């Protein structure tokens, strides 16, 4: 059994709920669970209006329960984390089929009278993953032992979690003591622990990042899942708190090929990669003067293998840094991992 941030066991396997979304980036929870905890995912369930699919079997809650599912996971992230009114009948249907509901939304399931009454009547659980621990301290900025790597982005929903998971796996493969540190609901569901950073009161957010990455052995690496983007007008606060609180020795910049406008706020352009690297260095030096950029994680979905290879090579030549797509892997990814470790053992 996996656990959420509070240590509660999460019922599994999962049926992934896609709601009525029509844009794949908003289904990042569903895609993250499919890709990194696929053995726990029985299938997907969506409303008729949804045009997004994870590629898993499309099942009714009754069919999923018969195949072994024991919880429906809300696999989408709406703006503001709201549970949409159109979803309520489907969520009730899932409970009637015998499934508990796991949510990483900001809106609380229990605050909906219909859902709360149905859960009580049917004996189902409404499980909120986006619940931070109690007694989070105010950040001190104190230098901590161990090594830390943070993934940051030019925008939201473009690969920070995937990059952190892939880097953690690659470091462990090399025999490095490394832990993935989840900072969002999907990462917590995948890894079984973490702190949902965007649910922490603002004054304590950097303290939560310090709490998530405590003192460690000199050779230990905490690989921290980034959140939001310093360049996103809506979510820059959580990104800066993570940057200051984790005090990363290394950061990896994440970007999606073709993403030219900020997700959900298309009047704002995404920054250039050089601009993004420079600003993270400037801001990161506040709590770690030795911070450096190891390279770029480039999301090349939608490109052919030949196109992706050319895109990675062009950016390596432009930035003079390793550039890799962690999903494609290969020699480029090995170069990025080596660059992350380049300062290991140095003061």
CATH number at 285 reads 3.40.50.300
Q: Give the confidence band of 157 by pLDDT, cuts at 50, 70, 90.
A: confident
Domain membership flag for residue 136: no
Structure-derived torsion over alpha carbons of residues 76, 208, 253, 79, reported in degrees to the nearest 10: 30
The total number of structural domains that make up the chain = 2
Whether 245 and 204 map to the same domain: the answer is: yes
Whether 238 and 157 map to the same domain: the answer is: yes
Whether 322 and 202 map to the same domain: the answer is: yes
Q: What is the pLDDT of residues 80-138, one digit of tens each?
A: 778 899 999 999 999 999 999 999 988 899 999 999 999 999 999 999 998 898 899 99
Domain membership flag for residue 133: no
Whether 210 and 318 map to the same domain: the answer is: yes
Q: What is the mean pLDDT of the chain?
A: 93
Domain containing 164 equals 147-340
The residue ranking higher by pLDDT, 247 or 190, is: 247
DSSP-assigned letter for residue 330: S
Rounded to whole angstroms, the Cα distance separating 193 from 181 reads 8
Tell me which of 128, 156, 177 is where a domain ends.
128
Residues paired with residue 323 on neighbouring β-strands, in sequence order: 296
CA distances from 303 to 58, 314, 327 (A): 27, 14, 12
Domain membership flag for residue 204: yes
Whether 53 and 121 map to the same domain: the answer is: yes
According to the model, what pLDDT value does residue 343 have? 65
According to the model, what pLDDT value does residue 52 have? 95
Whether 234 and 290 map to the same domain: the answer is: yes
Whether 232 and 273 map to the same domain: the answer is: yes
Whether 101 and 199 map to the same domain: the answer is: no
Q: Give the confidence band of 346 by pLDDT, cuts at 50, 70, 90.
A: very low
Domain membership flag for residue 281: yes
Prior bond of 13 cis (ω within 30°):
yes
* pLDDT tops 70 at residue 292: yes
Domain membership flag for residue 140: no
Burial of 231 (0-12, 13-18, 19+ CB in 10 A): buried
According to the model, what pLDDT value does residue 8 have? 56
According to the model, what pLDDT value does residue 94 have? 98
Domain membership flag for residue 142: no
Give the strand pairing for 221-224 and 2-3.
unpaired
Whether 336 and 199 map to the same domain: the answer is: yes
Rounded to whole angstroms, the Cα distance separating 67 from 35 reads 20
Q: What is the pLDDT of residues 306-343, one digit of tens each?
A: 999 999 999 999 999 999 999 999 999 999 999 999 96
Q: What angle do CA 62, 65, 68 make, to 5 degrees?
A: 155
The residue ranking higher by pLDDT, 227 or 79, is: 227
Domain membership flag for residue 227: yes
According to the model, what pLDDT value does residue 119 have? 97
Domain membership flag for residue 218: yes
Whether 36 and 94 map to the same domain: the answer is: yes
Whether 66 and 94 map to the same domain: the answer is: yes
Q: What is the pLDDT of residues 171-227, one digit of tens each?
A: 999 999 999 999 998 998 888 889 999 999 999 999 999 999 999 999 999 999 999
Q: Give the confidence band of 345 by pLDDT, cuts at 50, 70, 90.
A: very low
CATH of the domain at 40: 3.40.50.720
Q: Give the confidence band of 10 by pLDDT, cuts at 50, 70, 90.
A: confident
- Residue 325 three-state SS: coil
Whether 184 and 242 map to the same domain: the answer is: yes
């Amino acid at each position: 059994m996996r656990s959420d941030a509070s240590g509660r066991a999460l019922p599994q396997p999962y049926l992934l709920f896609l709601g009525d979304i029509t844009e794949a980036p908003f289904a990042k929870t569903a895609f993250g669970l499919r890709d990194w905890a696929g053995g726990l995912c029985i299938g997907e369930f969506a409303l008729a209006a949804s045009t997004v699919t994870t590629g898993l079997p499309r099942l009714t809650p009754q069919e999923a329960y018969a195949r072994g599912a024991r919880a429906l996971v809300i696999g989408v992230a709406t703006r503001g984390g709201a549970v949409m009114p159109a979803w309520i009948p489907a969520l009730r249907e899932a409970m009637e089929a015998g499934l508990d509901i796991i949510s990483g939304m900001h809106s609380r399931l229990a605050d909906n009278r219909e859902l709360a009454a149905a859960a009580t009547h049917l004996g189902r659980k409404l499980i909120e993953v986006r619940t931070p621990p109690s007694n989070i301290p105010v950040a001190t900025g104190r230098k901590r032992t161990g090594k830390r790597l943070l993934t940051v982005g030019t925008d939201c929903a473009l690969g920070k979690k995937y990059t952190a998971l892939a880097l953690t796996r690659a470091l462990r493969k090399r025999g490095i003591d490394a832990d993935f540190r989840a900072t969002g609901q999907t990462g917590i569901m995948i890894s079984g622990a973490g702190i949902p950073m965007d649910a922490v009161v603002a004054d304590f957010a950097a303290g939560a990042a310090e709490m998530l990455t405590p003192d460690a052995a000199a050779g230990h690496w905490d690989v921290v899942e980034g959140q939001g983007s310093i360049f996103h007008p809506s979510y820059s606060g959580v990104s800066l708190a993570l940057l200051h609180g984790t005090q990363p020795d290394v950061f990896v910049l994440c970007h999606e090929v073709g993403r030219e406008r900020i997700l959900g706020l298309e009047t704002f352009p995404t920054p250039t990669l050089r601009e993004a690297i420079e600003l993270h260095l400037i801001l990161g030096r506040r709590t770690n003067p030795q911070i450096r950029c190891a390279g770029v994680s480039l999301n090349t979905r939608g490109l052919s293998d030949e196109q992706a290879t050319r895109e990675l090579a062009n950016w390596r030549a432009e930035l003079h840094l390793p550039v890799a797509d962690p999903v494609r892997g290969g020699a480029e990814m090995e170069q990025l991992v080596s660059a992350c470790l380049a300062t290991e053992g140095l003061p």
